[in-house]
Amino acid sequence: MDSYKVLVVDDEVEFLETLVKRLSKRDLEVHGLDSGEKALEFLEQDYADVVVLDVKMPGMDGIETLRELKKRHPMIEVIMLTGHANMEVAIQGMELGAFDYLMKPMEIDELLYKIQDAHKKKSIQEAKIQMMEKIIEQEE
């Protein structure tokens, strides 16, 4: 699969670094940031295909960040990650458009598969949009 960009957001720096390191070894372009605010700022300047987002963070928490992120960049797929199993928060996240919700600790492969699936969903979506644009051009 072609290379794409993943942004990991987690305030637990040790966990974040490990995750970025391990995902990078799997042929992904990975960036790590330790707050929701920084993630939104980053996405203003740069882009990502898939964002992996911790739910519980000081400052802007994962759910708020997700809400804002989806508002500004609806095409980006977001995978929520949490150390606190909470059914209501999980469903809330899904309703806000998260691609999936994983609980720590998870297998690195499990996360990788989710990232791949999320990216594939995004690619298909983009192909469809492109197609629509092409048709619009033809009709004009």
Partner 1 sequence: MVSISKLFNRFFSGKSRYDLADAEEIRTDFKRRYHHFKLLLNSNNKALEIMTEMEEALKGVLPFGMQFVRSRCTAVSTNVWQIVRHLNELAPGRYKALDDRFKEIQTGINPFIKPKELPRNGPLVMPLLTVDTAHVDQVGSKMANLGELKKQLDVNISDGFVITAGAYHRFMEYNDLQAEIDRRIQATDVEDPNQGISLSGSIQQLIINSTLPEDVVEAIEDQYGDLEGRRGKGITVALRSSALGEDMAGVSFAGQYRSELNVSGENILDAYKWIIASKYSHTAMAYRLSRGIRDEGLAMCVGCTGMVDAVSGGVTYSRNPVDREDTSIVINSVWGLPKSVVDGSVASDIFIIDRTEPMRVIRKEIPFKEQKFMCYAKEGVCRMDMVGDKGGLASLAEEQAVELARLASKAEEYYGMPQDMEWAIDHDGSIIVLQCRPLQRTDLRKTRDSVSLSSRELNAPLCEGGLTASPGVSSGSAYIVQKEMDILQFPEGAVLVTSQALPRWAVLLSKAAGVVTEQGSIAGHLANVAREFGVPAIFGIPDIRNILKDGQQITMDADFLNIYDGQIDSLLKDRPSPRNLMEGSPIFEALKGAASKIVSLNLLDPASPAFRPENCKTLHDITRFCHEKSVEEMFRFGKDHHFPERSSKQLYIHVPMKWWILNLDDGFNEEVHGKHVRLENIASIPMLALWDGISAKPWEGPPPVDGKGFMSVMFRATTNTALVPGVRSKFADRNYFMISKNYCSLSSRLGFHFSIIEALVSERDAENYISFQFKGGAADDKRRYKRVLFIGEILEKYDFIINIREDNLIARIEGRDHQFMKDRLKLLGYLTIHTRQLDMIMANEASVNYYRSKIMNDIHDLIK
Tell me if 80 sits within 8 A of 100, measured CB to CB.
yes
Query: Which tokens belong to 117?
Result: 């699936």
- As beta bridge partners, residue 32 has 8
Confirm or reject binding of residue 85 to partner 1 (CB under 8 A): yes
Among residues 36, 65, 100, 111, the one that binds partner 1 under rule CB under 8 A:
100
Part of the chain binding partner 1 (CB under 8 A), chosen from 25-33, 34-42, 69-77, 130-138: 130-138
Confirm or reject binding of residue 22 to partner 1 (CB under 8 A): no
Measure the CA–CA gap between 77 and 114, rounded to whole angstroms.
10
Measure the CA–CA gap between 120 and 1, rounded to whole angstroms.
9
Residues within the interface to partner 1 (CB under 8 A):
56, 83-88, 90-91, 94, 100-101, 103-105, 107, 109-110, 113, 117, 120-121, 124-125, 127-128, 131-132, 134-136, 138-140
